[in-house]
Amino acid sequence: MADSATATAAASSSSSSSSPASSSSSKSQLKAYHHLASGALSGLSSAVVLQPLDLLKTRLQQGTYGEESNPSKRRRIRGVVRQVLREDGVQGLWRGTVPTLVRNVPGVAIYFYSLSSIRHRLSSIPYFAVTIPAPPNSENLTNSPASSSTTRSASRSAIIKLSSGGNLMAGAIARTSVGFILSPITVIKARFESNRYANYHSIPSALVSLYRTNGIRGFFQGFTATAVRDAPYAGMYLVFYEKAKDLLGRVTGIPNAALHSGSGVMAAVAATLLTSPADVVKTRMQVNPADHPSLRKAVVKVLQDRGPLGLFSGTSLRISRKAASAAIGWTVYEALLIFLRDREGNDARERLSKLS
């Protein structure tokens, strides 16, 4: 079953070739701007729709709700929502949207482009490549119903196929690199969403205030915790995403949108659960660096405030946000890439027909 799913996914990259390099040949027609544009639209869509969940998660994780009375999670969430609505109205749920967009639109675009480039390079390394041997008598099977079904199924993905180890490495490298570049705006985003920095009214003034208070180091506050969260999250997410696509791809007649969004949700839930403690520590370090100056001290502080369960504060909101973001983001990204890939192929065929 696994070999069949692998062959199906790789068929869009190669029509019966056994070399690792050929597994990415049909994807090579996708240009850099295809990945950048698809990623930017993906980031824009998920950021605007899901900002309220990000804000609520940050408020829960910052450590100002429920340490003393320790109310239930549901009561804490309701309390945060009521406070936001009372202080800022409905629009307050979208506080921090501008820095989120400034981070997510170019960030997701750069991430998907970097991820594509890294995966393309790793696909040329035998250890990470998925090699699909040509089936016997492939010429006789070209026009068979089974062959055309395999081809249709394979064309439903526009990203290169790698082994689990390749996916883990590609996701970790791409996410950590982009996270470092965008760390300053990530810190500003967390502070906008927090209620500790009501004096933040614009990104430039917030950056100036952060520099005056913490210096250059302030722009990278919490990056260690961010890397501890993002590297395994991105790597595991890609592994789970590809496995979920293989699994759901066996369902006859499943639409592309359902395939990609369903795989994204399954991968996001699994990866989010495993990386929630690092996310809590990251938020504490960015929002309240005075009490959480280092990774070790931040962990100790969280345990003192809320015990072991404090490391999973806001997990339900983060899972909801990540699952929805994955469903929206990867569906938009792959759908646009497939559209651009098919359009490029049609244009190329038209040019060849005119020449002949």
In this structure, of 147-161, 261-275, 315-329, the range with the lowest mean pLDDT score is: 147-161
* DSSP code of residue 356: -
159: confidence class by pLDDT, cuts 50, 70, 90: low
pTM above 0.85, yes or no: no
Crossing angle of helices 256-287/315-355, nearest 10°?
A: 130
What is the structure's pLDDT at 356? 64
Contact status, residue 40 vs residue 175, Cβ threshold 8 Å:
no
What's the confidence (pLDDT) of residue 321? 80
DSSP assignment of 136-149 equals: TTHHHHTTSHHHHH
At 8 the pLDDT is: 30
> Confidence band (pLDDT; 50, 70, 90) for 169?
very high
Position 21 pLDDT exceeds 50: no
Domains of the chain (ranges, CATH numbers)? 39-129+161-351 (1.50.40.10)
Q: Is the pLDDT of residue 150 over 50?
A: no
- Which phi-psi region, left, alpha or beta, contains residue 307 (left: φ > 0; alpha: ψ -120 to 50)? left
- Full DSSP string of 2-15: HHHHHHHHHTTT-S
Could you give the percent of the chain with pLDDT greater than 70? 78
Residue 173 has a pLDDT of 93
At 300 the pLDDT is: 93
The number of beta carbons lying within 10 Å of the beta carbon of residue 306 is 17
- Strand, helix or coil for residue 162: strand
List C-alpha distances in Å: 26 to 148, 154, 167, 245, 344.
17, 11, 19, 19, 11
Of 322, 302, 333, 292, nearest to 109 by C-alpha is: 333
- Check whether 126 has a pLDDT greater than 90: no
